[in-house]
Structure 1
Amino acid sequence: MRMLKPTFLAHWRGHFRIRSFPLLLLVILTVAALLAHFQHSARANNPPWQQFVYNGHAGSRPYFVYTPETYQVGTAVPLIVMLHGCAQTPLDFASGTQMNQLAERYHFIVAYPQQTSLYNPALCWNWFDPANQFRGTGEPAIIAGIVQEIESHTDRWTIDRQRIYVTGISAGGAMSVILGATYPDVFAAIGVHSGAEYRAITSPLGGGEVFLQGGPDPIQQGQAAFAAMGSFARVVPTIVFHGTHDNVVAPVNGNQVVQQWMETDFLASHGTYQADFHSPSRTIHDQVPGGHSYTVYSWNDNNGNEVQEYWLVNGMGHAWSGGNPSNFTDLQGPSASLAMYTFFKDHPIKGQGL
Structure 2
Amino acid sequence: MRSISDTIARLRKLSPSTLQAAGRSNNLTSVDDCGTNPGALRAMLHVPPGLSPQAPLVVVLHGCTQTAATYDNGSGWSELAERFGFAVLFPEQQRANNPNLCFNWFSPDDVRRGSGEVESIREMIVDTVKRHELNPARVFVTGLSAGGAMASAMLACHPELFAGGAIIAGLPFGSARGVTEALERMRGRGHDRASLGERVRAASPHCGPWPAVSVWHGNSDATVDAVNAAMIVDQWRELHGVDEPDTTERVAGNVHRIWRDAAGRAVIEEYLVAGMGHGTPLATHGDEACGSPGAHMLDAGISSTYRIAAAWGIVPAVAPPRPVKAFVAAPASPVRQDVAATINDSLRAAGLIKP
Give the TM-score category using the shorter length.
0.7 to 0.9
Paired position in structure 2 for 1:123: 101
Paired position in structure 2 for 1:58: 38
Q: Is contact 1:197–1:215 with CA below 8 Å preserved after alignment?
A: no
Letter of the 2:69 partner, please give it. L
- Report the CA distance shift for 1:240/1:231 in structure 2 as closer, same or farther (over 3 A): closer
Cα deviation, residue 233, structure 1: 4.6
2:152 counterpart SS class: helix
Tell me whether 201-210 or 338-347 shows the greater mean CA deviation: 338-347
Letter of the 1:224 partner, please give it. R
**1:305 aligns to 2:273 (yes or no):** no
Letter of the 2:92 partner, please give it. Q
1-structure distance, mates of 2:203, 2:55: 28
2-structure distance, mates of 1:343, 1:305: 11
Aligned with residue 145 of structure 1, among 123, 146, 156:
123
Cα deviation, residue 247, structure 1: 0.2
RMSD: 1.8
Deviations 1:175-194 (CA, angstroms, capped at 9, x unpaired): 10111011011111111000
Paired position in structure 2 for 1:270: none
Paired position in structure 2 for 1:179: 154
Aligned with residue 209 of structure 1, among 162, 179, 184:
184
Query: Percent sequence identity over matched residues?
Result: 30
**1:329 aligns to 2:307 (yes or no):** no
Letter of the 1:165 partner, please give it. F
Q: Is contact 1:296–1:310 with CA below 8 Å preserved after alignment?
A: yes
Deviations 1:319-339 (CA, angstroms, capped at 9, x unpaired): 100041211211124101011
Paired position in structure 2 for 1:338: 306
Greater share of strand: 1
Equivalent residue runs for 1:1-354 within 5 Å: 49-53=28-32, 54-56=34-36, 58-72=38-52, 75-153=53-131, 157-214=132-189, 216-266=191-241, 275-276=242-243, 279-287=244-252, 293-322=253-282, 323-345=291-313
1-structure distance, mates of 2:80, 2:207: 31
Q: Count residues with an aligned counterpart.
A: 281
Q: With CA pairs under 8 Å and 6+ residues apart, which has the higher RCO, 1 or 2?
A: 2
**TM-score normalised over the length of structure 1:** 0.76
- Report the CA distance shift for 1:145/1:295 in structure 2 as closer, same or farther (over 3 A): same
2-structure distance, mates of 1:256, 1:346: 27
Q: Is contact 2:214–2:308 with CA below 8 Å preserved after alignment?
A: yes
Deviations 1:218-242 (CA, angstroms, capped at 9, x unpaired): 4412111112131445322100100
Mark the runs of 5 or more structure 1 residues left unpaired by the alignment: 1-46, 267-274, 288-292, 348-354
1-structure distance, mates of 2:37, 2:58: 23
Cα deviation, residue 282, structure 1: 0.3
**Larger gyration radius, structure 1 or structure 2:** 1
Return structure 1 stretches of 4+ with deviation > 3 angstroms: none
Cα deviation, residue 265, structure 1: 2.6
Deviations 1:49-90 (CA, angstroms, capped at 9, x unpaired): 311134416243211111123425xx2100000000000000
